[in-house]
Amino acid sequence: MSTCSFFWEGRGTVATDNDLILVGLGANLANKLTVSPLATCQAALTKLREHGVHEHGSSGWYVSAPVPQSDQNWYINKVSIIQTHLNPEKLLETLLAVEQCFGRVRSERWGQRPLDLDLLAFKRIICKNSGKNHLNLPHPRMLKRRFVVDPLVEIAPQWSHPLTRKTIKEVAKEMQQEQKLLGFSSTIPDNSGNL
């Protein structure tokens, strides 16, 4: 039995920023299919389109220190607004399948990875450990990660968390700044070498 529920603010209306499907992308290892973590993330977006998952908008790219702190390589990250006909559980299944296509093996928690695709939020749906992949919505650690919060502020500053009801802009102001994060130009060449 699913433990998902819908949470609507107000009287059945949802603000534009709140009606979003959000996916976080990250990587800190190259793999045999691509030349860099950035190229892996770009290739993953192409692969997702083949499964009916389209990027509707996105933040720029960020480089972030690993969380928790370690001697791992830094990560490349961004947050994308997604459009899809898939329901949340099927979307999560698709994200996990694409991770596997690029060599992701879930053997070590918080270990290095060639690709990380996190379903951060699916409109106003709230889930706890739903389905075979234990879907949690919104993502339980998203408000503690600057590599999620800062990119999300960039693209949807008025988006509010379904549980806390705080806007992501408010969350960003309250966050401790100890996590290291650097933003850089969103005009990075794609896989074809085009800007």
For residue 36, is it within any domain? yes
Active site residue 113: yes
Residue 153 lies in a domain: yes
In this model, does residue 27 exceed pLDDT 50?
yes
24 occurs within a structural domain: yes
Catalytic residue among 11, 19, 49, 113: 113
- The question of whether 17 is a catalytic residue gets the answer no
Domain annotation covers residue 137: yes
Selecting among 104, 124, 145, 146, the annotated active-site residue is 104
pLDDT per residue over 122-152, tens digit each? 999 999 988 888 999 999 999 999 999 999 9
pTM: 0.85
Residue 109 appears among annotated catalytic residues? no
Q: Which of 17, 71, 118, 165 is catalytic?
A: 118
CATH number, domain containing residue 174: 3.30.70.560
Query: How many domains, the chain?
Result: 1
Q: Which of 116, 145, 146, 150 is catalytic?
A: 116
Residue 189 counted as domain residue: no
Instruction: Give the Cα-Cα-Cα angle 9, 122, 24 (nearest 5 degrees).
Output: 125
Q: How far is CA 132 from CA 83, 117, 126, 179, 189, in A?
A: 23, 17, 16, 32, 37
Of the candidate ranges 9-18, 122-131, 182-191, the one whose mean pLDDT is the lowest: 9-18
Does 74 fall in a domain? yes
Query: Tokens for 126?
Result: 């709230």
Q: How confident is the model at residue 9 (pLDDT cuts 50, 70, 90)?
A: very low
Residue range(s) defining the domain that contains residue 23 = 5-184
- Tell me if 190 is assigned to some domain: no
Residue 195 lies in a domain: no
